[in-house]
Structure 1
Amino acid sequence: MKTNKVVTFGEIMMRLSTERHLRFPQAESFKTTYGGGEFNVAVSLANYGITAEFVTRLPKNDLGYSAVKEMRKLNVQNHNVVFGGDRLGLYFLETGASTRASNVIYDRANSSMATIQKGTIDWEDVFKDATWFHWSGITAAISESAADECYEAIKVAHKLGLTISTDLNYRSKLWQYGKEPKDMMPRLLEFSNIILGDIDTAYFMLGLEKVNPDYQAKNVLPSQYDELFKLCPNLKQVVTTLRYSVSASYQRIGGVLYNGTNLYHADIQDVTPVIDRVGSGDAFMGGLIYGLLEENGNEQRALNIAVAACCLKHTVSGDYNLITVEEIEKLLDGDFSGKVSR
């Protein structure tokens, strides 16, 4: 029996964030780390003991080599990273507090990943020992050529029988190359087995009218998901992170999973104070993949793990969810005390 191995594909960026909740005009220096949605998922899975590989394109310079060192440090495989292009993508983060929201400025135009061309990566070779492929709507958003290469990966993953998961990850600031999500995403989502995102984002990306589901009242109707199953014939599960943002420092997190027959809910959890919200959706995705792989088909348990992972990520500075399975289990067992472990 093949051992579980998850391959993710996307862009790793250098993250430059203001410290101590300073605004951009106040900052005299920035804290430098790395991050990116698909890479963050790989880091979570590696933390949980799952073999995870990240595939990307990096510039052949010290910044690109530093990104590879970051992958190695976090036990994420990088055998199929390719080098080319001129620059590493960047993003700047101004961390909000209380009633002031966080703000992100992207600087990733013409990055090595944005200029990747179809056929750059030998996906047959990449997937030869893999069981799962994960991608997100961010890759489709950064350039048409990146979307095309992602589609090549999806087709090969489907042909080889890998499970394919997708985080819709709509970023309005990124769709700047003349295409809209509805122009690119339908073909990319055709082979997805698991989609993470809210119903209206999925409908928007597929060119459908919104249905405005009432998540707050736990009044989501299975019929509101059914159109997705018709348009995505390989779909097995649709999952939604429920996020009620009381303020930048106080979030309430839950989740919904629908498998075409049964609708599961995870209880809402209070998260306050928030240390760093960025990457919390990726933490949810990483927890969900781990739960679906390790919990023998127990979808309720997988959803609960995803919500716990998401909640715990809010307590960790940086993009990655540096949380262990043991810490997730502790939270699932009802221990919210935060007492020192001695």
Structure 2
Amino acid sequence: MDVVTLGESMVLFVPEFSGSLRYSEKFERKLGGAESNVAIALARLGHDVGWVSKLGNDDLGLYIRNIIRGEGVDTSQVIFDDNYPTGVFFKEIVNGRDPNVYYYRNNSAASTLSHADIDNTYFQQAKYLHLTGITVALSASCKHALKQAIKLAKNDNDKYVVFDPNIRLKLLSEKEAKRELTEIAKDCDIVMPGLDEGKILTGENEPEGIARFFLERGSTLVIVKLGADGAYFATAEENGFVPGVPVKNIIDTVGAGDGFAAGVISGLLREWNYFDAVSLGNKIGAYALSVKGDFEGYPYWEEVNPKTNIKKITR
């Protein structure tokens, strides 16, 4: 197993036309979830990936499982719960701006995920563990499940834990996010915040300061996402800016950060150097911008396989 990721996925309803939801009458049903986005993107890039979560034992839960499984992701660790429903959310399309998102996830099946639901053997198979701050914010039991997954990975020196803070201010205040997510980040090998997230978590305003904050607390690689400007990466030995990939017609920004994470992990699995791994992340994220939906725009490996030789790193 190359990567295991853990977190909630929900059914997403997208209106047929842009504008206020109160005037929207027709919706398209889709899948949304940061961790499953990463899993799907990695599977399309040719990796062996598993997604761990809980879903309601309902038709919406089956829909989510079937979509993710159909993309080539292992869903054998997904638990169906008879007592709690599958979460849903709505996207309000506003032309020229990021969409407004409305979540209905209180008491969802995924929010009841706990350390007791973690199969130790399954997590120990993976080379990389991918996690986000969304799971931390869902409930105390979800936070414990995430910590258990990190503990299992850290007990094995050849495994890497990747953490995307993915701050949701509808779930955590800025003060709570700083306290909770920096605590998680110190136990993770790779941390990849967006610039605004990094400012919230560290109090630093520049990518270099944000990276230094996490490196000093134990991370080995920090990547700060800079949107259209690309990304900045830093380790104890090297650092650099990686230019973004221009996108002429941006349709939907949701899912771009998850595609970025998948591209970086894919490059690292291939033992590419950090610059090239982050470049792949920028490329996968850019693909997501041109399509309505969270994961639909992610490319397959044959679409992005570089023709030039990639320098590998020794770790």
What is the TM-score when the length of structure 2 is the normalising length?
0.90
1:188-224 deviation line (CA, Å, top 9, x unaligned): 223211111146634634xx5x1211xxxxxx54x55
Q: Is the 8 A contact 2:287 2:298 kept in 1?
A: no
Q: How does 1:185-204 map to 2 (within 5 A)?
A: 185-198=181-194, 201-202=197-198, 204=200
Q: Determine the structure 2 residue equivalent to 1:283.
A: 259
Greater mean deviation of Cα atoms: 78-87 or 37-46: 78-87
| Aligned-pair CA distance for 1:25 | 2.0
Match of 1:337 in 2: none
User: Is it true that 1:8 corresponds to 2:5 in the alignment?
Assistant: yes
**1:132 Cα shift?**
1.0
Contact 1:308 1:331 in 2 (8 A): no
Corresponding residue for residue 129 of structure 2: 133
- The aligned residue for residue 149 of structure 1 is 145
Gaps of 5+ in 2: 310-315
SS of the aligned residue for 2:147 comes to: helix
Does the residue aligned with 1:88 lie in a helix, a strand or coil?
A: coil
Please show how residues 1-342 of structure 1 align to structure 2 within 5 Å.
Answer: 5-84=2-81, 85-98=83-96, 100-122=97-119, 124-161=120-157, 162-175=159-172, 180-198=176-194, 201-202=197-198, 204-205=200-201, 208=202, 210-213=203-206, 220-221=207-208, 224-231=210-217, 233=218, 235-243=219-227, 252-294=228-270, 296-320=271-295, 321-329=297-305
SS at match of 1:326: helix
Who is 2:313 aligned against?
none
Please provide the CA RMSD for this pair.
Answer: 2.3
| Secondary structure of the structure 1 residue equivalent to 2:29 | strand
Aligned to 1:271, what secondary structure does the other structure show?
A: coil
Q: Percent identity?
A: 29
- Give the C-alpha shift of residue 276 in structure 1: 1.8
Moved more, 31-40 or 82-91: 82-91
> Contact (CA 8 Å) 2:185, 2:214: kept in 1 or not?
no
C-alpha contact 1:199 1:225 (8 A) present in aligned 2: no
TM-score (norm 1): 0.83
Mapped partners of 1:332, 1:272: distance in 2 = 25
Mapped to 1, the partners of 2:204 and 2:198 lie a distance apart of 11
Asked whether the equivalents of residues 197 and 240 of structure 1 are also in contact (C-alpha less than 8 Å), the reply is yes
- In the TM superposition, residue 316 of structure 1 has moved relative to its aligned partner by 2.3
Aligned residues: 306
Tell me, yes or no, if the aligned pair for 2:195 and 2:226 is still in contact at 8 Å: no
Kept in 1: contact 2:9–2:36 (CA 8 A): yes
Structure 1 stretch displaced more, 188-197 or 30-39:
188-197
Determine if contact 1:147/1:184 at 8 Å carries over to the other structure: no
Post-superposition, which runs of at least 4 consecutive aligned residues in structure 1 deviate over 6 A? Answer: 330-333
**CA spacing shift, 1:105–1:237, aligned 2, 3 Å:** same
What is the CA distance between 1:263 and its match in structure 2? 1.3
| Higher helix proportion | 2
User: Is the contact between residue 85 and residue 107 of structure 2 (CA under 8 Å) also seen in structure 1?
Assistant: yes
CA distance in 2, matches of 1:192, 1:111: 27
